[in-house]
Amino acid sequence: MNSLSKTIKCMIALTLFAVLTAGCSSTPTGRKQLTLKSDAELAQEGTRQMAAIRATSALVQDRATIDYVACVADAIVGTLDGEAAALYWELAIVNQPDVNAFVMPGGKIVVKSGILSVAENQHQLAAVLGHEVAHVTAHHANERATRGELAGYGIDVLSIILAGDSNNRYSRNYDPNRARGISGATNTFGALGLLNPFSRMQETEADDIGLIYMAKAGFDPRESVSLWQNMNSSEKTAKVPEFLSTHPSGETRIDAMVDRLPEALALYNQAKAEGREPNCKP
C-alpha cells in the first residue's frame, strides 16, 4: 500500500471515529444533532472569554441602559426551564457602535451598544436577545465546532485525493502551486457547500426559537419583522449574496418569521392573558 492510500485511509478512519464517538442531542425544535465537545468544557471557555471582554472592553456605564437591556434579557431567560434555566446567565453591554450582539457557551450574552439604535423598543430588543439565547439552548456552538471538525477531515481527504502525488512533497511529481490551488479550492468548497449552509440553518433555527421565547415572555413577535426591516435599512455596505454568507439574507429572515407568526402570536396572547407583559424602558 502506498503512502497516499495510507494517508487517505487514516483520514477516513479518523472521520468515522469522530462520528461514532459523537454525542447525540436535540435542539428545542426537535432537530437531532451531533456534538463532539463537552458542554461543560465549552461553558468554561465562555466564562473565560466573558471575563476577558469585561477586562479589556469599554463597557456601557449608564445605569438606565444596563437596566433596560437586563430587563429584556431577564424576561427572555425567565421562559426557560431545565438545564438552560440553571445556567449562570451573564450580560455585558460593550460601548461600540456596531449593530451586533453575540453569545458564548454557558449563557454569556454580549450586546454592542449600536444595536440599540436599530432595536427601537423592548419588543425589537427581545427579538435580538431571544435569538442569542436560542443559540445557547440549541447547543449551536458545540454543534458548529463538531461540524467544522468533521468537515475539516472530509476536506483534507478530498484535497489529498484530488492532488494525488502532486501534494506529496517527497514525491518527484510534487507541484507546490497545484497543491496550494487544490487546497484553496477544496476549502472554498467546504465553506460554500458545507459550512455556510449549515451556519445559515442554525441562524434560521435561532430565529424560530427566539421568536417563541420572546412571545412566551410577553413581547410582541410582530416586532421581529420590524427589527429586520430596520436592520436592512441600516446596512451601509453592499449586501453579500446569501450563498457567500454565514447568515440568511434579511429578506429570507423576514419571510420565515412571517410564516411563524401565527404560532408565536398565540403564545404572545396567552402570555398576556397570564399577566406576562414586560415594561422595560430605556
Catalytically active residues are 132
Reported as half-sphere exposure (CB side, CA atoms, 13 A), residue 7 has a value of 14
Query: Running DSSP on this structure, what letter comes out for residue 59?
Result: B
Find, among 173, 192, 174, 181, the residue nearest to 243 by Cα.
192
Which ranges in the chain belong to alpha helices (H)? 3-21, 39-56, 63-77, 82-86, 122-137, 140-163, 176-189, 196-216, 223-234, 250-273
* Region of residue 106 (left: phi > 0; alpha: psi -120 to 50; beta: else): left
Q: Tell me the residue type at 204.
A: T
| Alpha-carbon gap, residue 47 to 249, rounded angstroms | 31
